[in-house]
Structure 1
């Protein structure tokens, strides 16, 4: 059953949609992962950044985390993230963006139901970028994007430590979608005292500023 979590003022802190993504949706997503090799395997580093910290990834031949953005802010100006630039050695990430067009559009459509104002803001931002930017490469990629989120993070076989992001606004909802993995996997919303099923095909949106959330390692291969 879908679940909504609200604070005392009845502001939605999280949505939980267990098993909402079809098997076909998930199979297509798994197949399209090949476009992200070898970039995603190269993403794991010895740095202290918890996003790419090696000991948080399970032992698997496929693992890593990469961010893709058509308008990544660098020095206060939007830029295409390096992995999507035409100068990048491997065209795979841009091919992935195109191949995943239907899936990211479906996820964006769920946001239109869950948070119509955030959906409208994201869509308006992309339309303005496409119309006004002088960066031809950005303009092209923005037009190819079917998501209203400015950044897509693809994670494979990673145990997510508890975290939140104080730079966000309370009303901004992150969207998490899990593909494959253990059938009994759970996501924990620590400061809410809630543990929710996070198995195959589940979508969770939450206030990243407020909700401390984490996901333990999966024995089976999983990506989000």
Structure 2
């Protein structure tokens, strides 16, 4: 049997260079088993034309902010548990909805007082079904619209959501502006404008993943030029975020924020030791197309002041 095409392509690792005295790697020798370099210091990754495809910001979030998020999520135990199906090790489905919920990916060995393993995705305005795209007005996720506990969680997390928007404004100013224009139109014309008013974030959707490993995948609902942002919370060891195509493993310790082109870079996260919560922030191309926010652009860093 031949190796998958993806594996063959990723065997051709790009040449990675960095300024003198600013090596982000734990060691300049790749791991003998994975062939990847281990990054533990902050860096940005750009191609030869200056297009930045990844920002790594380890340990950015304070312990207090992480604790606030964990405390808020503990109230959503039942909701999060519904986002996890029964373990099915035999499942070979690559369907996004199915593998993300497969119980075999969730770590059962978590503290009794911790956030229950599971997940959920919420949005202030998106399309619930693919066939609805641009045929109807966007509306909030059902969880956010009908579950008061989820709505309370979103409101209590407003400051952290706004912080992620602020980070995006620095690392990808044009995407931030597009997100802002989209939210303004959702506030005027969506089917759930009141929810948009409480949504302190320029990202269309936020996904919560608790104690789950993530198989290698790419995102599929945004532009290639756009960033997804991942932020981690908790008390755990051996956290890792891997990018096989560029030959990098990131030390994803608690409080780490990573902004990257999720439609381009295949990525995954193995199981860690302890309680890990990850929030993923993304924008939906279909909603932006409805909002006519303009063509997507690549990030070249913060705007000059």
Q: Same fold (TM over 0.5)?
A: yes
Structure ID, larger Rg: 2
**Correspondence for 1:83 among 132, 143, 152:** 143
**Correspondence for 1:54 among 93, 96, 103:** 103
Query: Partner of 1:106 in structure 2?
Result: 163
Q: Which moved more, 1:163-172 or 1:17-26?
A: 163-172
Show the 5 A alignment for 1:178-189.
178-189=232-243
Query: d(CA) in 1 for partners of 2:263 and 2:173?
Result: 19
Query: d(CA) in 1 for partners of 2:162 and 2:156?
Result: 11
By how many angstroms is 1:43 displaced? 1.3
Show the 5 A alignment for 1:33-182.
33-46=73-86, 48=93, 49-59=98-108, 60=110, 62-74=116-128, 75-76=132-133, 77=136, 78-85=138-145, 88=146, 90-133=147-190, 135=191, 138-182=192-236
- TM, length-normalised to structure 1: 0.92
Q: CA offsets, 1:152-175, max 9 Å, x none?
A: 001100001111034532211000
Could you tell me whether the CA contact under 8 Å between 1:181 and 1:218 is conserved in 2? no
Gaps of 5+ in 2: 1-40, 279-305
Q: CA offsets, 1:107-145, max 9 Å, x none?
A: 110110000111111011111111233x2xx10110101
Could you tell me whether the CA contact under 8 Å between 2:218 and 2:265 is conserved in 1? yes
**Count of residue correspondences:** 218
Query: d(CA) in 2 for partners of 1:24 and 1:209?
Result: 32
Could you tell me whether the CA contact under 8 Å between 2:237 and 2:273 is conserved in 1? no
Q: 1:37 to 1:188 in 2, by over 3 A?
A: same
Q: 1:51 to 1:116 in 2, by over 3 A?
A: same
Query: d(CA) in 1 for partners of 2:264 and 2:220?
Result: 8
Q: 1:42 to 1:118 in 2, by over 3 A?
A: same
- TM, length-normalised to structure 2: 0.68
Gaps of 5+ in 1: none
Query: Partner of 1:31 in structure 2?
Result: 71
